[in-house]
Structure 1
Amino acid sequence: MEITENAALVVVDVQQGFDEPESWGPRNNPAADENIASLIATWQDTGRPVVFVRHDSTKPDSPLRPGQQGNDFKEYVEQRRGLGKGPELFITKTVNSAFYGTPDLDAWLKAAGITQIAVAGIQTNMCAETTARMGGNLGYDVLFAFDATYTFDETGPFGWHLTADELARATAVTLHGGGFARVVTTKEIVAAVRS
């Protein structure tokens, strides 16, 4: 795997509100935060661009709505902002895709000549997946850092219930099998960046 010198890491919605279990239910992948932190450090240490995305929920009961502590980035993310040797972008959004945020991610990437992105963050099957799918649709070479994401159990139509692990696997199969992204591990990405 090759990581370009200007590949951008897109860190999606790593916010304190996702640490409120009463709002979300059971989650998977307890190592995700450590892996996200590792990717941020690797990108910053090598001077590559990092995009920090924050979800500003418009739902009145969401812990991610502006003005609530849950809207803030998790501490390990906030502490890393501004420390990189490379460019950094901060995006806010109210929908699933970072490509529909402010400022315009696609325009920023294109202006910088960036053709490859790595996606990490929360939730695997929601905003991280949607951002990866759109990146693929827009022609970017997308790496999806599977173990640097996590999600929660969910109940859908017909009473169907999927665990967080089942949803995460479905995302991985859809993204990889559908050609939207290459689903990889944090270890693989870090090794490629540092090689």
Structure 2
Amino acid sequence: MTTNEIEIAPNSALLVIDVQKGFDDATFWGPRNNPAFEANAAALMDAWQESGRPLVLVQHASRNPGSVLAADEPGYAFQDFVEERRDAAALHITKTVNSSFYGTPDLAEWLTAQGIGQLVVAGIQTNMCVETTARMAGNLGYDVLVPLDATHTFDLAGPGGTRLSADELAGATAVNLHGGGFARVVTTALVLAAARTRLPA
């Protein structure tokens, strides 16, 4: 895939989902993938700030007992690299479920008011809140791009003793989103290159 195959709209919104300190707790979550996640997500945030495109931060307040992402836990806070860029955000959404479209304030309402039709979706976890948000955005008619290397997830156990690695889950998300027509799965480098070729007026 080449840079010419995607365009980043001048008002394309970057959604950075649930990049919170609680996800650094390996004893709680288990093995993760994609050690390049933090650098890639930060690069996207910087590019959006430099170009004046809108950045949306999403923060998860878990209602599950004992969750490290509960609103009264230290893990609820944004990770440092996101907190350092927080002032650049045009919108801050809090949610208690997987989809960023079921949060406060209302994401779809805000996007409509801003005339935004394209979303770039990054964050944690690839196969949970990122995939759910991207699927719903696709259903709602947005042009959705998911730079998979600006997401990460964790190994996960399923029924009957089945266990998939974080990389396997990320691969499944890529197939679900791209193959299913919900979003185009791309790389951070491709998004950054395309964003620089079409800057806001």
Q: Residues of 2 paired with 1:170 and 1:151: CA distance? A: 12
CA displacement 1:11-63 (0-9 Å, x = unmatched): 00000000000110000000001100000000011000010000000012100
- Measured after TM superposition, the shift of residue 128 of structure 1 is 0.4
Unmatched 5+ stretches in structure 1: none
One-letter code of the match for 2:24?
D
Q: Does 1:8 align with 2:13?
A: yes
Q: Which residue of 2 aligns with 1:28?
A: 33
Q: CA-atom RMSD, angstroms?
A: 0.7
- Choose the corresponding residue for 1:80, options 73, 80, 85: 85
- Measured after TM superposition, the shift of residue 83 of structure 1 is 3.3
Q: State the secondary structure of the residue aligned to 2:151.
A: strand
Q: State the secondary structure of the residue aligned to 2:67.
A: coil
Q: Residues of 1 paired with 2:88 and 2:38: CA distance? A: 18
TM-score by length of 2: 0.94
Q: Which residue of 2 aligns with 1:93?
A: 95
- Give 4+ residue runs of structure 1 displaced > 6 Å after superposition: none
Unmatched 5+ stretches in structure 2: 1-5
Q: Residues of 1 paired with 2:170 and 2:96: CA distance? A: 22
Q: Residues of 2 paired with 1:125 and 1:52: CA distance? A: 18
Q: Residues of 2 paired with 1:81 and 1:155: CA distance? A: 34
Q: State the secondary structure of the residue aligned to 1:96.
A: coil
- Measured after TM superposition, the shift of residue 89 of structure 1 is 0.2
- Choose the corresponding residue for 2:131, options 109, 126, 129: 129
One-letter code of the match for 1:10?
L
Q: Which residue of 2 aligns with 1:148?
A: 150
Number of equivalences: 192
TM-score by length of 1: 0.97
Q: Which residue of 2 aligns with 1:70?
A: 75
- How many percent of aligned residue pairs carry the same amino acid? 62
- Measured after TM superposition, the shift of residue 99 of structure 1 is 0.4
- Measured after TM superposition, the shift of residue 82 of structure 1 is 1.3
One-letter code of the match for 1:165?
D
